[in-house]
Structure 1
Amino acid sequence: MTALLEVSGVSVTFDGFRAINNLSFTIGPQELRAIIGPNGAGKTTFMDIVTGKTRPDTGKVLWGEKSISLLSMSESRIAQAGIGRKFQRPTVFEDQTVTENLMMALKAPRSPFRVLGWRATAADRKRVEELAVEVGLGDQLPRKSGELSHGQKQWLEIGMLLAQEPRLLLVDEPAAGMTLAEREHTTRLLVDLAKTRAVVVVEHDMDFVRRLNCRVTVLHEGAVLAEGSLDHVTANPQVIEVYLGRGG
């Protein structure tokens, strides 16, 4: 299977500290992957590199069937190419309704003149309803986003990313602060999303990672320490020493 994203031999140094050290990582077009590791392992920097926020000193980051280099592209161009990122803290427009948030996120021409004259079509409204149902907010469309629970805001932000039709979704600690029921819904949502796109979940919660039932990549000091099922990597003596032995 051809990789959708291939990171090869990437390193980056900040003020003498090597945050990413000869890192290589690949993910397929329909795959769910969890990334775990202690604080400072390079998880956030990895996502920064893939999304164009940080430029590595060395290495390659190739995207899609044509192996296009992401390193020559701007953050906005990378997003347009099909890479969506969800940060840990949800960022939704709290004074706007769920419908309005999703409508603003729809993939559409965004030039100034097009935006001024833009009107939602029946197809746009149908797409918004489909997105809301997909993330579990089908009955919340008229509500202001600020009234939603923490978990619901997380799902809305995922829906806003899905409106951009990404082929790769990077999700940072989605389980943090959620109730048990919200976590279970989030697990089902991420597993379902990975049937049609690649999904990378950065997470500290081992129980949540176990529920995802996917391949796990362990980062340590900016490099891949271990990779495989959760049972496989958590039985690795090095992983136990540098990560699990410290209580996560």
Structure 2
Amino acid sequence: MTVPVTPTLLYLDNVTVSFDGFRALNALSLAIDHAEMRAIIGPNGAGKTTMMDVITGKTQPNEGTALFEGTHDLTALDETAIAELGIGRKFQTPTVFELHTVEDNLLLALKNKRGPLATLLSRRTNREQERIDSLLERVRLPAQRHRRAGELSHGQKQWLEIGMLLAQEPKLLLIDEPAAGMTDQETADTADLLRDIAKSKGVIVVEHDMSFVRALGAKVTCLHEGSVLAEGSLDAVSANERVVEVYLGR
């Protein structure tokens, strides 16, 4: 198979996924550039989760192309190999090591980690400490470094998990409904954080909160019945009659 070269970070073309005759994705095509943030919106059942499952190798499409960096065929790789390529995924509910400190959570997540027990018992290097310090600053948690992760607020746990993703030095982050359950200030801070990350990495954010989507300032893709219904600025997508009919409901 000759794989076409594309300059985009992520390239999906004609991706179709069927479950017992139901098309969760229906000839979906999408392209994400390097250092681009894309907001994905759409009603429940639109295919948002299935799309992320295909990108991360959890679900194999029935047909279509899924390329990463132009040369890596995601449909031929398992979840571990895809993660090692530099694709990180954050689910809606934060998953952190609640009994460990914030600092140790980041240490455990560092790229080329040696395993949980060995990492915690070993003496961290200056480079690792500098990396952890930088991550703590980036995700707004330097004052929480010695607290157990389980003591953090919901929003802080979300930031910690994003920091744990960043510790693995991904090229593309998939973030599922990060604003859910956050305070107004945490929501604003999260939008700032994701905009900062998108200066150097690809970021896909699945979100229902339109105020948060607006704060992201990103290009918006609306999915419906497994396909792209509309794409563009939030104002343009929100003005689309079909988007209003099937999703925004006004």
Secondary structure in 1 matching 2:35:
coil
**1:67 CA displacement:** 2.2
1:120 lines up with 2:124 in the alignment: yes
Task: State the match for 1:188 in structure 2.
Answer: 192
Task: State the match for 1:54 in structure 2.
Answer: 59
Task: State the match for 1:108 in structure 2.
Answer: 112
Deviation by residue 1:48-92 (Cα, 9 ceiling, x = unmatched): 00000000000010011x421011111011011000000000000
Q: Hey, what's the Cα distance between the residues in 1 that align with 2:109 and 2:115?
A: 14
Task: State the match for 1:85 in structure 2.
Answer: 89
Does 37-46 or 106-115 show the bigger shift? 106-115
Secondary structure in 2 matching 1:139:
helix
Q: Is the 8 A contact 2:108 2:120 kept in 1?
A: no
Sort the Cα spacing of 1:111 and 1:137 in 2 relative to 1 into closer, same or farther, 3 A. closer
Task: State the match for 1:179 in structure 2.
Answer: 183
Secondary structure in 2 matching 1:100:
helix
Task: State the match for 2:75 in structure 1.
Answer: 71
Q: Hey, what's the Cα distance between the residues in 2 that align with 1:114 and 1:125?
A: 16
Unaligned runs of 5+ in 1: none
Q: 1:155 aligns with which of 153, 159, 163?
A: 159
Q: Is the 8 A contact 2:89 2:174 kept in 1?
A: yes
**1:187 CA displacement:** 0.5
**1:40 CA displacement:** 0.2
Letter in 1 for 2:216: L
**1:112 CA displacement:** 10
Q: Hey, what's the Cα distance between the residues in 2 that align with 1:225 and 1:119?
A: 52
Task: State the match for 1:44 in structure 2.
Answer: 49
Secondary structure in 2 matching 1:95:
coil
**1:126 CA displacement:** 1.3
Deviation by residue 1:111-138 (Cα, 9 ceiling, x = unmatched): 8998799542111111111101001001
Q: Which runs of 4+ in 1 moved over 6 A?
A: 111-117
Task: State the match for 2:3 in structure 1.
Answer: none
**1:109 CA displacement:** 5.2
1:232 lines up with 2:233 in the alignment: no
How many residue pairs were aligned? 245
Task: State the match for 2:15 in structure 1.
Answer: 10
* Structure-2-length-normalised TM-score: 0.94
Secondary structure in 2 matching 1:132:
helix
Secondary structure in 2 matching 1:93:
coil
Secondary structure in 1 matching 2:170:
coil
Q: Hey, what's the Cα distance between the residues in 1 that align with 2:86 and 2:115?
A: 19
Letter in 1 for 2:210: M
Unaligned runs of 5+ in 2: 1-5
Q: Hey, what's the Cα distance between the residues in 2 that align with 1:9 and 1:196?
A: 28
Sort the Cα spacing of 1:112 and 1:123 in 2 relative to 1 into closer, same or farther, 3 A. closer
Deviation by residue 1:165-220 (Cα, 9 ceiling, x = unmatched): 00000000000000001001000000000000011100000111011111000000
1:135 lines up with 2:125 in the alignment: no
Sort the Cα spacing of 1:240 and 1:157 in 2 relative to 1 into closer, same or farther, 3 A. same
* Structure-1-length-normalised TM-score: 0.95
Q: Hey, what's the Cα distance between the residues in 1 that align with 2:193 and 2:17?
A: 33
Task: State the match for 1:20 in structure 2.
Answer: 25
Sort the Cα spacing of 1:147 and 1:17 in 2 relative to 1 into closer, same or farther, 3 A. same
